[in-house]
A and B are shown apart, each in its own frame.
Chain A
Amino acid sequence: MKKHSKNVIFRILEIFIIAIWIFPLVWMVITSLKYENEVVTRVFTFLPQNPTLHNYQEAFGSTYILQWLINSLVISVVTMVFTFLLDAPIAYAFAKIRFPGRNILFWVVMAGMMVPFQVLIVPLYLQFTSYGIINTLLSAILPRLALPIGIFILRQFYEGIPTALEEAAFIDGAGRLRTFVKIILPLGKAAATTVIILAFINAWNDFLWPLIAISDSVNYTITVGIANFQGTHGTEYAMIMAGAVIASLPELVFFLIFRRKIIDGIAMTGLKG
């Protein structure tokens, strides 16, 4: 059975590739369970000799790590919802409504995609200071609401929805808003999933802006908190890895639950509506 043995080789190869790809994560967990003196040593051990949760206790005890997770969650969820609420109507307008200046406006918005965020930081910081909302979660949310790529994805999808469906609604006497809510939004659910997932991931992983905008450690996001945790623990690798595990666990759980939705959602980016 030549074919059979070839298959076995392929499976082994695949398992090997999976193992390599997943190994960094395994190593992160293993390191976090060791004592520091077992990590910084020339005597290499793979598995922890005395497995310990000490690093986790320390991480929870000495920082606001739980609070940071909640902050990140709040920021990400709020950003996700409002991004969609802002993006969907304008994407619909770009796709289906013929109004003067539409094309120019569209390209202006798309150009926003290419703006390096560093350009905006100083002006934004001064702006938010004058509003008196610097150092609040709100300040971490607002600049991230305008997500041009979301508009791009939604517009592509909405363009593919047959105009006949809309016209039928108009004939029934529905207005724009009603048509949008009753027909376009339900049909565009797949694209909507993509946009909210992208918005969520973007917000969750945001680093530079919250680093500058938020100065009280209670209000840190998890990315900023972990960077700070790492910076203040220098070479305590086991401790740093414990922090990394805590920071990534919620993401991992979130991903495993919505795995299909997330992957299919991102796949949408590449498909024409």
Chain B
Amino acid sequence: MRKRLIAIIALIVLGSMMIFASPAKEKSAETSGPIELKFWSLFTGGDGEFFNAMIDEFNASQNEIHMTNDMVRFDDYYTRLTTALAAGTAPDVIVLHQARLINYVPSGTLLALDEYISDDMLSDFQSAPLEACRMDGQLYAIPFDVHPIVMYSNKALLEEAGVSEIPQTAEEFLAAAEAVKEKTGQWGSLIDNTTGTYKAYTLTRLFVSLVNQQGGSMLTDDLSAAAFNNEYGYNALVNLQMLVNEAGVNPNELDYDAAMNMFKLGEGAFYFNGVWATGTLEQTEGLEFIASPLPPFMGKSAAWTDSHTFAIPVQKNQDPVKVEAAIKFIDWMTANAHLWAKAGNIPTRTSVLEGAAFNELPYRADYAAAVSSVIPNPPTAAWGEIYETLSDLLESAVTKNEDPATALNNMENTVNEIISHY
């Protein structure tokens, strides 16, 4: 009995020591040596490896700044970031999706970067992704990459099925998928349509792309209501439903991870995902694939996209030294984005896009060309919730083959209701 008591007391002492010791550790690190910068990232899986390698290389490349990176899983990232911003405890540099900027800029939590960045550096950036980070004339973030949705095709299956050209229209796509299913016994396409680790985002990404390819858009120009409940939305939805149901070339109840795994194992011919999957697929042994920009299935070229950007949170006592160091970090990361392109992401700086290191990588040059037809995200704070909710509704519509008109009505009503809350 007494022994146990002693053990417990020892633990408490140990515990309190640890609680109070942890801040002390940080202090001693700050007094000398390089500038310590904290960074949170949301890169997981394949992306994460490439990103961590970049951070290591950045730290090794100079001894002035030391970057520490905390990887937070995607599900929790924005929760943590927003609470930290509200509390003023955010790290020195953060990564943000361009589509989310609108949720943070109006509240003044992000530092306007114009005065800190040299014109030299700015002029190196592609104007589209850079302008997307500007709000009310001020620059709040620096684009690190652009990552549109693309199409991956399994070479072996296409050859076996006698498909020699990458399909460019919806009809060609269906014919190719059916040929694959008939001749090889494998799936024609692998569009994930069910919630697993992630929601059925691929459906939303394709839906957005297909609506835009016909000349439509998701929201009205003044962003006050849904604008997809028309023939554009109808065509897009019916096509997605058809692949899974009438045509049966795409598995039903397929989640993101399963789709990725099945494509890796050669169990399907066409696979849709963001460019970020490229690196992971390239590392898969025995898989030969072609990656191509999203074909103009329904008219003109248009592809859903988003962009990772770097931003600097406003701190209570902003340390100019740290801001300067953060800018140096951002400069280095974007200027060396050919390393990031290994994962598949498209760099944003002209010098990188034209550099040899980037162009030696397969497919990437094609991707870069496709950037001209990406669809900008609607600049409204409601977009995040709309995007998530549409993924649920599309999942339901596709997996259960709901009546498309009813499903679209429901989607429209829900989106309008969401907008009314913001």
Which residues of A line the B interface, CB within 8 A?
A: 40-42, 70-71, 73-75, 77-78, 81, 125-126, 129, 134-138, 211-212, 215-219, 227-228, 230-235
Contacts and interface: CB of A to CB of B under 8 A. Distances in A.
Given A217-B70, A232-B44, A134 B87 contact: yes
Given A136-B23, A233-B44, A235-B261, 14 more contacts: A41-B265, A71-B18, A77-B11, A78-B15, A78-B16, A78-B19, A137-B18, A211-B80, A212-B80, A215-B80, A215-B89, A228-B71, A228-B76, A230-B73
Nearest to B198: A234
Interface string B87-125: 111000000000000000000000000000000000000
A75 B11 CA distance: 10
Contact of B89 (A41, A129, A211, A227): A129
A233 B80 CA distance: 19
Contacts of A232: 44-45, 48, 71, 73
Given A125-B87, A135-B89, A233 B18 contact: no
A126 B86 CA distance: 8
A244 to B, nearest CB: 15
Contacts of B79: 211-212
Contacts of A81: 8, 12
A136 B89 CA distance: 12
B165 interface: no
Interface string B276-293: 000000000000000000
B15 A77 contact: yes
Given A40-B261, A77-B11, A77-B12, A228 B22 contact: no
B335 interface: no
A215 B84 contact: yes
Contacts of B11: 73-74, 77
B6 interface: no
A212 B70 CA distance: 15
B260 interface: yes
Contacts of B264: 40
B197 interface: yes
Contacts of A70: 18
A174 B46 CA distance: 69
Contact of A125 (B12, B74, B83, B197): B83
Most A CB within 10 A of own CB, among B15, B48, B264, B265: B15
A129 B44 contact: no
Q: Which 5 A-B pairs have the closest CB atoms?
A: A231-B73, A129-B87, A74-B15, A234-B45, A232-B44
